[in-house]
Amino acid sequence: NAGVMQNPRHLVRRRGQEARLRCSPMKGHSHVYWYRQLPEEGLKFMVYLQKENIIDESGMPKERFSAEFPKEGPSILRIQQVVRGDSAAYFCASSPIPAREQYFGPGTRLTVT
């Protein structure tokens, strides 16, 4: 059973460009969570989604960031007009039910130049 998959693993964007990060949850998992890891801040929750629904986006910056988890296909975290401060590792996790045990992907390292 394949684990959580994220792509790309590394992404370089210039300031002002858009970044799209993709996450395919484990098979049978319909709950997806996105986290961001900054060296000075640690690992922080961003958003929790179920298929076609955003359940909790309390950790998402108010502007430029959006997330979706469509009926078909991977979950997408989209960052518009990236700035240097968006450089971080972005992790996706999934679970089969709303549960404390979440399984993490390998992450996408975003570098904004």
Partner 1 sequence: TQLLEQSPQFLSIQEGENLTVYCNSSSVFSSLQWYRQEPGEGPVLLVTVVTGGEVKKLKRLTFQFGDARKDSSLHITAAQPGDTGLYLCAVLLTGGGNKLTFGTGTQLKVEL
Write out the residues near partner 1 by the rule CB under 8 A: 4, 31, 33, 35, 42-45, 48, 55-56, 58-59, 91, 93, 95, 98-107, 109
Q: Which is nearer to partner 1, 15 or 44 (CB)?
A: 44
Nearest-approach distance from CB 86 to partner 1, in angstroms: 19
DSSP class of residue 51 equals T
Instruction: Give every CB contact of residue 39 below 8 A, 6+ residues apart in sequence.
Output: none
Q: Which is nearer to partner 1, 4 or 77 (CB)?
A: 4
Is-contact 68 75, C-beta < 8 A? yes
* Chain mean position to CA 72: 17
Q: Which is nearer to partner 1, 13 or 35 (CB)?
A: 35
Q: How far apart are CA 67 and CA 20, in angstroms?
A: 10
**The residue to which tokens 């404390």 are assigned:** 100
DSSP class of residue 14 equals -
Nearest-approach distance from CB 16 to partner 1, in angstroms: 27
Nearest-approach distance from CB 62 to partner 1, in angstroms: 17
Nearest-approach distance from CB 87 to partner 1, in angstroms: 15
Q: Which is nearer to partner 1, 1 or 58 (CB)?
A: 58
Look up residue 28 and give its two tokens: 């049978």
